[in-house]
Amino acid sequence: MKKYVIIAFVTVSGLFSVNAMAQSKVGHINAQALIEAMPEAQTAQKSLQQYAEELDKDGKGLIDEYQKKLKEFDEKAATMTDNLKEIKGKEIQTAQKNIQDYQESAQQKIEAKRQEILKPIYDKARKAIEDVAKEKGYAYVIDSSVGVLLVSPASDDLAPAVKTKLGIK
């Protein structure tokens, strides 16, 4: 008898939770488009572009050095001893490695800078989305920019309300 009471309780509890989930409002927003529309994001993108260009200028110095060594080697290779060719060849290889190391380092620095600059913007957008969802009673908000959902229930687009909250036209 006790077993039947427990089963009945679990079944009734399950029905209430399914009913509660069925009544939850679902909304969607293209978070990427929202962030791109934010003026802060456009400013951050320009700043990131300038930073990448500065790093690129520094890298060009290494490339110029490499090309100079390679040209010198090509011009004088016929008159060099085998020992000197080996030394110059190693210098060229070192210059190549320096270029590769610099490029990897520059990519890491750009990515770190991107994270640093964009984090406050992402946080601001997320807060606005959460606020609008709370104000309008949405239990779930799906990011439609990811494009992973193949089938989803009908939902409301929160982008206009969030843009209004952020002051974006």
> pLDDT (tens digit, 0 to 9) for every residue of the chain, 169 residues total?
444 435 444 454 554 444 445 567 888 888 898 999 999 999 999 999 999 999 998 889 889 999 998 898 888 888 888 898 899 889 999 999 999 999 999 999 999 999 999 999 999 999 999 899 889 888 888 888 876 554 456 677 788 888 888 888 7
pLDDT at 49: 95
pLDDT at 148: 57
Calpha distance 46→69 (Å, rounded): 35
pLDDT at 27: 85
Q: Which residues of 34-46 are buried (b: 16+ CB within 10 A; e: fewer)?
A: bbebbeebeebee
| Token duo for residue 95 | 């210059």
Residue 80 carries which DSSP code? S
Q: What angle do CA 108, 117, 110 make, to 5 degrees?
A: 20
pTM of the model: 0.65
Residues 6+ apart with CB under 8 A from 85: 73, 77
Distance of CA 134 to the CA centre of its chain: 26
Q: Which of 69, 74, 68 is nearest to 91 (CA)?
A: 69
Q: Sign of the C-alpha dihedral, residues 151, 152, 156, 161?
A: negative
